[in-house]
Structure 1
Amino acid sequence: MTLLRQRPFGEFGTLQREMNRLFDTLSPFRDDDIDFKSFMPAAEVTETDDAIDLKVELPGLKPEDVDIQVAEDSVVISGERKSENQTEENGLTRSEFHYGSFRRVVPLSTRVDNSEAIADYNDGILKLHLPKVAEERNKVVKISLV
């Protein structure tokens, strides 16, 4: 009679390795994944009676790498975060940093006076102050019930 050693949880190790392999292949952080080359910076919009304030996270970018276009009804922010040349001799084996070009279009709820827009970039945060067009300020619209 041959005795077999039972490992009741032995298959869980195989299952875990297979799940890790699956998630690694589906991960957006793969070097050969084309979608990894771009990213979408986070934005925050605040509206007051007189203006719209927009903040956009752009860590690691230089001001000359960012292009801002303000229209009356939208803001387009585009640019490129250039990757640093990392090699395995530096010890890097995996990076979750997002590199490449980006384009973010932020639609505005009211028209703004784009000639009076003010931009400030500090500590990786772009701040835009967009004054509303004079006739949009405190605009009251009467709505009738049908």
Structure 2
Amino acid sequence: MAITRWEPFREIERLEPFREVDTLQRQLNRLFDRLMPTDGGERVGFAFVPAAELDETDDAIHLKLEVPGLERNDIHVEATPESISISGERKSETKTEENGVTRSEFRYGKFQRVIPLPSLIQHDQVQAEYKNGILRLTLPKAESERNKAVKVNIG
């Protein structure tokens, strides 16, 4: 009796639903390739994405972003009634040591983060403060959102 090698993927390729899974896998691989910056073809880790904290009150949405090591001029904020876009760049510092070895665990490079908001805001009234590596945004709610009442049906 001859031993033959079973190749399940050749049989799966003939089945249409599995082609969609294969397409999804290729798309996810491309997504992760874009997220993983390279340095001369070698992977160097995930791109810098600032941590965010969102707090909502009756009158405003308060957003804090952790962006240490940046200057005010390196941070760009754009507001729409539905979202906030924060972008910037953490520039690399060139350091050399006596033995010629430099080790850094800091993340450098450009970043962009778009945060969808839970309520509409007055995007022309946004206030920003940057202190000690924390960007604080006060996003006043639109008048229609402040006076919004929802009728509750009792079952």
What do residues 100-145 of structure 1 show as CA deviations (whole Å, max 9, x unaligned)?
0000111100000011110000111000000000110141111446
More relative contact order, 1 or 2 (CA 8 Å, 6+ apart):
1
* Equivalence for 1:4: none
Matched, 1:48 2:57: yes
Residue-pair matches, total: 118
* Equivalence for 1:59: 68
Gaps of 5+ in 2: 1-35
Q: Distance in 2 between matches of 1:116 and 1:59?
A: 25
SS at match of 1:89: coil
Matched, 1:126 2:140: no
Q: Distance in 1 between matches of 2:97 and 2:48?
A: 24
What do residues 17-67 of structure 1 show as CA deviations (whole Å, max 9, x unaligned)?
xxxxxxxxxxx8x9632554x310000000000000000001000011111
Q: Distance in 1 between matches of 2:144 and 2:68?
A: 36
Judge conservation of contact 2:95–2:102 (CA < 8 Å) in 1. Answer: no
**Relative to structure 1, is the Cα distance of residues 91 and 48 closer, same or farther in structure 2, using a 3 angstrom cutoff?**
farther
43, 47, 58: which is aligned to 1:33? 43
57, 62, 85: which is aligned to 1:76? 85
Gaps of 5+ in 1: 1-27
SS at match of 1:115: coil
- Partner amino acid for 2:43? D
Q: Distance in 1 between matches of 2:154 and 2:71?
A: 53
Following TM superposition, where does structure 1 have runs of at least 4 consecutive aligned residues deviating by more than 3 angstroms?
88-93, 143-146
123, 133, 137: which is aligned to 2:146? 137
- Partner amino acid for 1:33? R
